[in-house]
Structure 1
Amino acid sequence: MPKPAPFTPKPAIEKLPLAVRKDVRDNFENEKEDLEKQVNDLLGNEYKFKFNPNEIWAYNESSGSTNCGSIMKNYATGFIYCLKYYVEKYGDEGKDHFNGAVSQSEISVGVNTLGDKAPTISCEVRDGVFWILFHPTSLGYNCDYIGDAMLAAIEAAPCEGLSLRAKHSVDEDYESKIDELQEELGKLIGMPDVTLDPNWDENFKALKEGVKDEGWQTSFGRAVFDYFEGFKSQLGYQGFKDDEMLQEGLADVFSSKKIVLRVLPKIKKSYNEAVIEDGTVYLQTTPSNWWVNVSQTGEGFIDLL
């Protein structure tokens, strides 16, 4: 069966009808400065809407319609609507990621070259420009439906360190409660100055390389917290609370007073394990068993002492 022909974009209209040009002037160009200011206020940067009506209007399928400027404005206001939610959720980190990815500080609209396979609306970052993409037969539809695609577009751009989704989870599900857990664990083992090291960057890198489904990023902070909590619970089950013999035995081999979580390609046990190396306790798991049976973290730890 022959392959379908690749999508070929339509050529730009050489000269738009007067009524269409008037609509572009009245309903987009006259309001563009205010629209750009709204974006700049949200992102703290000088952004420009660079929409080409001659290219966009080539996909108009409504005979006799002239509302090109209104449609362009709808794409701009739809973008701003979704951007507000993005900034509210991801804050300054989100702004930094956005500005870093969209290095040209431009927002454009164009046809999706997937052709018939394209969604009604989507977006991507290409060569530092944020592109709002429409299906070839769906110009002007669902202009404010790029919320989820916006995050994916920004995160697809190369970036060092944790993703926005992962950072958001760390802030929401880890930072707000880890101090209390660390204090409880210190009391349990008789070491009030024990520290928990989540090893964020290395573990994120290992998971990103080893797990195809990126859904784990939205729960990254919660999962790391659960490993430390599981270890604390295991030590409680094994009788460390108020047992000076066990606490002294741990102190003899735990000189760093640091507990580190690390993701490795392979470990000896099935799901996770605890080991002691050079005075440091390591809680270990693999990408394929990430966030699996975390309540067993540290099972049999007493046998290491």
Structure 2
Amino acid sequence: MATPFTPKPALDRLPLAARKDLRENFQDKQEDFQARIKTLLGKDFTININAEEVWAYAAEENTSTGGYFSAYVEGFISALEQFLSKYGEDGKTYFNEAVMQSQLTLTVNPLGEKAETISSDIKDGVYRILFNHKQLGYNQHWQTDHILPAVESVPREDFALSTKYSIRVDYEANVEPLRQEINKLCGAEFILDPNFDENYKVLSAANDKISEKNWRSRIGATMLSYFKGLQYQLERQGFKDDDMIHEGIQEVIHTKTFRIRVVPTTKKATETVISEGIVFLQVSSTIPSSVYRSLRSSVLQTAGV
């Protein structure tokens, strides 16, 4: 069994040269760093690094304390800019709610030998840049990929940030032409209901059983693909320009709604069920990505149509 990681004790005091570098190359810049972060997040933000704790992991002859700390903070600011450029106001809201103490720090990764060179987390409302205990000062600017996982690790009741992004970018931006094509095939205006709220709850409850761990960031594309599968089947079964089929489907599906429904189990990868005038395209919660493997298997089985 691996020995648990034990952090080093903090230094009693930084060496004189290290204190000088800390003052000149970090502390004199700290207010500017905080102002830049405030501009990005729209609220006051503080940087609080325990220099004596962190510098216990530096090589004995290394005195570039301030230069190291500034490089980590610059890396964070650059990553935050990219994060907010992609996720916009939602990203700002989610970040601020997760980092409720509005504080940034730098500390050793408690995973010890298993730790990445650089990563991050959010603990007690504080955003923590984490370094491997043997690699202080390495990859300080490689922080872009760590903000989203840190933010999404903080529990919340509504959609994950990557889910909101996927719904907006992958689904909402692309569904209208598809809806128009399905309307032509059915001879009337139909509703395509991805049922995001309910499906997200079911998938979240089954998260430990889902093989595809990035389903949250793909949910928009997945639901769109189901409706693409529906369009394919309508075309394949000769719905186009057939008035009798149009009349029949509009009678059976009197709500004119196609809805995706995630359920605990299904007999097949995809199923079609009609209930109360709604066509449900069903998929098991444990394999929400099965649509990619079986787009052509979602056969519309309306009663007698």
Q: TM exceeds 0.5?
A: yes
Asked if 1:261 is matched to 2:257, the reply is no
In structure 2, the CA distance between the partners of 1:291 and 1:304, relative to structure 1 (3 Å rule), is: farther
Task: For 1:109 and 1:295, locate their aligned partners in 2 and report how far apart those are by CA, in whole Å.
Answer: 47
Asked if 1:38 is matched to 2:25, the reply is no
Equivalent of 1:116 in 102, 113, 117: 113
Asked if 1:102 is matched to 2:96, the reply is no
Q: CA deviation at 1:262?
A: 0.8
Task: Write the letter of the residue equivalent to 2:68.
Answer: I
Query: Which residue of structure 1 aligns with residue 175 of structure 2?
Result: 178
- Give the conservation status (yes or no) of the 8 Å contact 1:111–1:136: yes
Q: CA deviation at 1:177?
A: 1.7
Aligned length: 300
Task: For 2:20 and 2:253, locate their aligned partners in 1 and report how far apart those are by CA, in whole Å.
Answer: 76
Name the SS of the counterpart of 1:34 in structure 2: helix
Q: CA deviation at 1:171?
A: 1.9
- Give the conservation status (yes or no) of the 8 Å contact 1:238–1:302: no
1:157-209 CA-partner distances (Å, limit 9, x unpaired): 112222222222222221112112112211211112x1111111221232232
In structure 2, the CA distance between the partners of 1:266 and 1:65, relative to structure 1 (3 Å rule), is: closer
In structure 2, the CA distance between the partners of 1:201 and 1:300, relative to structure 1 (3 Å rule), is: closer
In structure 2, the CA distance between the partners of 1:151 and 1:184, relative to structure 1 (3 Å rule), is: same
- Give the conservation status (yes or no) of the 8 Å contact 2:178–2:228: yes
Q: CA deviation at 1:7?
A: 1.5
Percent identity of the aligned residues? Answer: 40
Q: CA deviation at 1:274?
A: 1.4
Q: CA deviation at 1:297?
A: 5.1
Asked if 1:290 is matched to 2:288, the reply is yes
Task: For 1:30 and 1:278, locate their aligned partners in 2 and report how far apart those are by CA, in whole Å.
Answer: 68
Task: For 1:36 and 1:96, locate their aligned partners in 2 and report how far apart those are by CA, in whole Å.
Answer: 18
- Give the conservation status (yes or no) of the 8 Å contact 2:115–2:132: yes
Equivalent of 1:205 in 190, 195, 201: 201
Name the SS of the counterpart of 2:121 in structure 1: strand
Asked if 1:129 is matched to 2:147, the reply is no
Q: CA deviation at 1:304?
A: 5.1
Map 1:221-236 → 2, pairs under 5 A: 221-236=220-235
- Give the conservation status (yes or no) of the 8 Å contact 2:194–2:260: yes
Task: Write the letter of the residue equivalent to 2:202.
Answer: A
- Give the conservation status (yes or no) of the 8 Å contact 1:166–1:219: yes
- Give the conservation status (yes or no) of the 8 Å contact 2:119–2:130: yes
In structure 2, the CA distance between the partners of 1:202 and 1:302, relative to structure 1 (3 Å rule), is: closer
Mean Cα deviation higher: 160-169 or 7-16:
160-169
Query: What is the CA RMSD across the aligned residues, in angstroms?
Result: 1.7
Q: TM-score, normalised by structure 1?
A: 0.93
Task: For 2:154 and 2:211, locate their aligned partners in 1 and report how far apart those are by CA, in whole Å.
Answer: 17
Query: Which residue of structure 1 aligns with residue 88 of structure 2?
Result: 91
Task: For 1:211 and 1:282, locate their aligned partners in 2 and report how far apart those are by CA, in whole Å.
Answer: 21
Q: TM-score, normalised by structure 2?
A: 0.93
1:44-69 CA-partner distances (Å, limit 9, x unpaired): 221111111111111111x3322111
Q: CA deviation at 1:217?
A: 2.6
Map 1:15-30 → 2, pairs under 5 A: 15-30=13-28
Query: Which residue of structure 2 aligns with residue 241 of structure 1?
Result: 240
Query: Which residue of structure 2 aligns with residue 5 of structure 1?
Result: 3
Name the SS of the counterpart of 2:279 in structure 1: strand
Name the SS of the counterpart of 1:301 in structure 2: coil
Equivalent of 1:78 in 50, 75, 78: 75
In structure 2, the CA distance between the partners of 1:117 and 1:289, relative to structure 1 (3 Å rule), is: closer
Q: CA deviation at 1:288?
A: 3.4
Task: For 1:161 and 1:281, locate their aligned partners in 2 and report how far apart those are by CA, in whole Å.
Answer: 26
Task: For 1:172 and 1:294, locate their aligned partners in 2 and report how far apart those are by CA, in whole Å.
Answer: 23
Name the SS of the counterpart of 1:145 in structure 2: coil
Task: For 1:92 and 1:112, locate their aligned partners in 2 and report how far apart those are by CA, in whole Å.
Answer: 30
1:252-289 CA-partner distances (Å, limit 9, x unpaired): 22121111101111223x11111111111111111333
Mean Cα deviation higher: 48-57 or 210-219:
210-219
Unaligned 5+ runs, structure 1: none
1:107-127 CA-partner distances (Å, limit 9, x unpaired): 100011111221111111111
